[in-house]
């Protein structure tokens, strides 16, 4: 076995407007940096060298839970140290837990000589998501592992489809310094929805997928429209409607909530428009006295990267 592997595991945007629980894509310039080393303890250890607080109990950390699922499948008793050098802020809505789970199972799989494909790793990483939010969703871990845009066509059985990522697509993220717990933002959703709204939603999902295949940026933009989840979750994000209106006016193709929030994302296809979107997002959060971290990223087509 190699002595260690150090991995960049990307942040991700799940849901992507209309694709609640099924669509996601990976970002280039935010992510976890995780070093994975075999140990002789037959146990998993979390070592935190990042600036962020992390649960050190392996039964409560998403990364070790995901790795334990992988080792369980292999029947392996090998122990590993998972050293976090850099960590996405938890609760940001850009797949913090997914980055940790995905990066850790990826690293362990590398050290073990790749017994599993990337798609197979998704189901282990999902076990981490279950600890984080109560639901083993895959719309962050799949793009974190595979890169680009991914579709979870089905959960039972798990069926993951890689979608194309148009070259010029830019994603601007605004992460306001407010707390929205994934669990809460799931609880406030209605269990029943109108069929007529569902029809609008799956029309948009179909349009979004078509736009990705044809590089039709306008179609991608207008297909982000989410008539079911966003109107409810937007209530938890101060200023969401104002920001959305303003970034669309500034030229964004579309705008919605990243994952369960509070981060907001907007798509564009020019650096100039992306810069304007950043400015608008910063100004509006500032005017509400809310601290905000704003950045723009290309779509990350690679997924996991060995450093």
Which positions touch a second copy (CB under 8 A)? 18-23, 151-155, 159, 161, 163, 189-196, 198-210, 213, 219, 222-223, 228
Q: Which is nearer to a second copy, 220 or 280 (CB)?
A: 220
Closest approach, Cβ 262 to a second copy, in A, equals 21
Q: Would you state the structure tokens that stand for residue 290, as one six-digit string?
A: 């809310």
On the CB side of 20, CA atoms within 13 Å amount to 17
What's the rounded Cα separation, in Å, for the pair 132 and 183?
Answer: 8
Closest approach, Cβ 208 to a second copy, in A, equals 8
Q: Which is nearer to a second copy, 80 or 149 (CB)?
A: 149
Closest approach, Cβ 266 to a second copy, in A, equals 20
Closest approach, Cβ 205 to a second copy, in A, equals 4
What's the rounded Cα separation, in Å, for the pair 53 and 48?
Answer: 8
Q: Look-up: residue for tokens 């306008």?
A: 218
Residues with Cβ within 8 Å of residue 181, at least 6 apart in sequence? 91
Q: Which is nearer to a second copy, 1 or 198 (CB)?
A: 198
* E strand or H helix at 173: strand 170-176
Closest approach, Cβ 209 to a second copy, in A, equals 4
b/e map of 79-100 (b: 16 or more CB within 10 Å)? Answer: bbbbbbbbbbbbbbbbbbbbbb
Q: Which is nearer to a second copy, 39 or 202 (CB)?
A: 202
Q: Which is nearer to a second copy, 25 or 80 (CB)?
A: 25
What's the rounded Cα separation, in Å, for the pair 214 and 173?
Answer: 24
Q: What is the 3-state secondary structure (H, E, C) of 62-93?
A: HHHHHHHHHHHHHCCCCEEEEEEEECCCCCCC
Structure-derived torsion over alpha carbons of residues 118, 156, 201, 260, reported in degrees to the nearest 10: -60
Q: Which is nearer to a second copy, 206 or 288 (CB)?
A: 206
Pairing type for strands 254-257 and 170-176 reads unpaired
Which residues are identified as catalytic? 129, 182
Query: CA geometry: angle at 103 spanning 97 and 3, to 5°?
Result: 140
What's the rounded Cα separation, in Å, for the pair 27 and 279?
Answer: 20
Closest approach, Cβ 163 to a second copy, in A, equals 6
């Amino acid at each position: 076995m190699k002595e260690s592997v150090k991995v960049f595991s990307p942040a991700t945007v799940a849901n992507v407007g209309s694709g609640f629980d099924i669509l996601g894509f990976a970002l280039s310039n935010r992510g976890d940096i995780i070093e994975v080393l075999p140990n002789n303890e037959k146990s998993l250890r979390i070592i935190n060298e990042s600036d962020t607080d992390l649960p050190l109990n392996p039964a409560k950390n998403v990364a070790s839970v995901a790795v334990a699922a992988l080792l369980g499948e292999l029947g392996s008793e090998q122990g590993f140290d998972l050293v976090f050098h850099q960590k996405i802020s938890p609760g940001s809505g850009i797949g913090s837990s997914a980055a940790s789970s995905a990066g850790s199972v990826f690293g362990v799989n590398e050290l073990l000589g790749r017994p599993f494909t990337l798609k197979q790793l998704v189901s282990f990483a999902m076990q981490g998501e279950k600890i984080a939010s109560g639901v083993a969703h895959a719309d962050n871990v799949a793009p974190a592992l595979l890169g680009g845009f991914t579709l979870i066509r089905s959960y039972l059985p798990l069926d993951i489809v890689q979608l194309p990522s148009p070259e010029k697509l830019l994603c601007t993220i605004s992460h306001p310094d407010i707390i929205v717990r994934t669990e809460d933002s799931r609880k406030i959703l209605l269990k029943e929805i109108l069929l007529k709204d569902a029809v609008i939603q799956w029309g948009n999902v179909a349009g979004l997928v078509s736009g990705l295949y044809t590089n039709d940026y306008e179609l991608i933009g207008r297909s982000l429209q989410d008539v079911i989840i966003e109107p409810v979750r937007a209530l938890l994000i101060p200023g969401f409607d104002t920001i959305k209106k303003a970034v669309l006016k500034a030229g964004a193709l579309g705008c919605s909530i990243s994952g369960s929030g509070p981060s907001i994302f907007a798509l564009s296809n020019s650096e100039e428009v992306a810069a304007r979107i950043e400015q608008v997002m910063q100004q509006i959060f500032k005017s509400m006295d809310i601290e905000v971290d704003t950045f723009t990223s290309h779509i990350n087509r690679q997924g996991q990267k060995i450093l």
